[in-house]
């Protein structure tokens, strides 16, 4: 595929499911004129417990699907896919591809004063140590403490973000991290920003909480400007949503994450790509 210099072309955003909407909503907020095509791989979620090979294969298929929508840039909103597949799949397309790990790591390195950074994420993200490697490239002295928190994803998807059980699960996963000297903590999974206020309350004011979505949208803006492909038409943006399964459930959850009503979500047979 050729690079796409049409500034009105959409941004492709993808995730293993609904969680990547926390990144899409930040792009909508910071880049209100950019059109978006979102793909959630709801048939194959969670990615957090899958192997690197599967995640690379899934991400490649999704990129080929997004190419059929003539996207001008692709954002891998999923931390797990960013950690395991970004380097492999960005070779396969001519459009710029960014993930959430580098922006999240950079925000944490800028925020930390004592250089001790916590990262919460899926099993696969933490096991890959991608956050640790990227942080250490930026600050070799940094100490990174990772913790997989797999139950956070179903808790959010079940609408339990404010439920008392979630407080207990946060304590089970993060009590050890709270006893360390971390002064900065990365919410290294798409769903965790939806637990942000609970996690902030748990750590208290001494720990700075980083949501990589914010910095990712800023990076996207920079890339679009550098390449001269930012949409400066001033027109209202249009958004399209695709999933690989359970479109109704996605629409229902999406309407709790995004601040406007999603009309419809379309089904795609992603194995065809
Ligand atoms: N989107 C995934 C991530 O950010 C979380 C859900 C999953 O395991 O697929 O890592």
Report the separation in Å between the CA atom of 92 and the middle of ligand 1, taken as the mean of its atom positions: 22
> Which range has the worst mean pLDDT, 16-20, 144-148, 184-188, 260-264?
260-264
**pLDDT at residue number 240:** 96
Does the beta carbon of 189 sit less than 6 angstroms from any atom of ligand 1? yes
Residues 102, 70: Cα–Cα separation, whole Å: 25
For the cut 60, the answer to whether the pLDDT of residue 111 exceeds it is: yes
Whose CA is closest to atom 2 on ligand 1? Answer: 78
Active site residue 149: no
Section 180-197 average pLDDT: 97
Q: How close is the Cα of 120 to the center of ligand 1, in Å? A: 11
Tell which one of 13, 40, 80 to mutate to probe ligand 1, the residue whose CB is within 8 A of the most ligand atoms: 80
Residue of 49, 55, 79 with the most ligand 1 atoms within 8 Å of its CB, for mutation: 79
pLDDT, position 148? 98
Report the pLDDT value the prediction gives residue 9, as an integer from 0 to 100: 97
For ligand 1, atom 6, the nearest C-alpha belongs to 46
User: Which pLDDT does position 263 carry in this prediction?
Assistant: 78
Contacts of 214 (CB under 8 A, 6+ apart): 26, 107
SS (H, E, C) 225-246: HHCCCCCCCCCCCCEEEEECCC
pLDDT average, residue stretch 155-170: 95
Cα(153) to centroid of ligand 1, in Å?
7
Confidence grade of residue 53 (pLDDT, cut at 50, 70, 90): very high
Average pLDDT of the chain to the nearest whole number: 96
Indicate whether 3 pLDDT > 80: no
> Count of CB atoms within 10 A of residue 273's CB?
14
Asked if residue 128 has its Cβ within 6 Å of ligand 1, the reply is: no
pLDDT of residue 2 exceeding 80, the answer is no
Task: Confirm whether 78 is a catalytic residue.
Answer: yes
> Could you tell me if the CB of 132 is within 6 A of ligand 1?
no
Q: What is the mean pLDDT of residues 234-259?
A: 93
| 78, 104, 146, best to mutate for ligand 1 pocket (most atoms within 8 Å of CB) | 78
Q: Is the shortest distance between the CB of 18 and ligand 1 below 6 Å?
A: no
Residue 214, CA distances (Å) to 84, 209, 238 in order? 21, 12, 21
What pLDDT is recorded for position 4?
83
**pLDDT above 90 as % of the chain:** 93
The pLDDT of 202-220, averaged and rounded, is 97
Q: What per-residue confidence (pLDDT) applies to 62?
A: 98
The mean per-residue pLDDT over the stretch 104-122 comes to 98
Provide CB contacts within 8 A for 190, sequence distance 6+. Answer: 15, 16, 19, 20, 21, 22, 23, 77, 78, 79, 100
pLDDT score of 134:
98
Which of 10-19, 53-62, 165-174, 251-260 shows the lowest mean pLDDT across its residues?
Answer: 251-260
125 lines ligand 1 (CB under 6 A): yes
Mean pLDDT of 236-260: 93
SS3 158: coil
Q: Which ligand 1 atom is nearest residue 45's CA? A: 9
CA distance 34 to 211: 21
Q: In ligand 1, which atom is closest to the CA atom of 20?
A: 1
pTM of the model: 0.96
pLDDT mean over 146-150: 98
Q: Residue 213 pLDDT > 70, yes or no?
A: yes
Establish whether residue 122 lines the binding site of ligand 1, counting it when its CB lies within 6 angstroms of any ligand atom.
yes
């Amino acid at each position: 595929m050729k690079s796409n210099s049409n500034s009105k072309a959409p941004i492709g955003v993808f995730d293993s499911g609904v969680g990547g909407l926390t990144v899409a909503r930040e792009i909508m907020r910071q880049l209100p004129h950019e059109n978006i095509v979102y793909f959630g791989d709801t048939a194959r979620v969670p990615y957090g417990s899958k192997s690197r090979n599967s995640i690379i294969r899934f991400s490649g298929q999704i990129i080929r699907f997004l190419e059929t929508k003539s996207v001008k840039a692709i954002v891998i909103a999923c931390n797990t896919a960013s950690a395991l597949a970004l380097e492999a799949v960005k070779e396969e397309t001519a459009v710029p591809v960014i993930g959430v790990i580098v922006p999240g790591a950079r925000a944490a390195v800028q925020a930390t004063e004592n250089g001790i950074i916590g990262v919460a994420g899926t099993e696969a993200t933490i096991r890959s140590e991608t956050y640790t490697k990227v942080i250490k490239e930026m600050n070799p002295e940094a100490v990174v403490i990772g913790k997989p928190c797999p139950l956070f994803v179903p808790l959010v998807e079940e609408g339990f973000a404010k439920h008392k059980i979630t407080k207990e699960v946060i304590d089970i996963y993060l009590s050890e991290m709270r006893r360390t000297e971390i002064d900065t903590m990365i919410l290294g999974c798409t769903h965790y920003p939806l637990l942000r206020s609970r996690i902030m309350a748990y750590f208290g004011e001494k720990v700075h909480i980083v949501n990589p979505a914010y910095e990712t949208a800023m990076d996207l803006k920079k890339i679009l400007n550098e390449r001269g492909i930012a949409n400066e038409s001033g027109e209202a943006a249009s958004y399209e949503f695709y999933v690989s399964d359970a479109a109704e459930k996605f629409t229902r959850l999406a309407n709790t994450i995004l601040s406007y009503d999603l009309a419809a979500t379309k089904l795609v047979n992603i194995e065809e790509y």
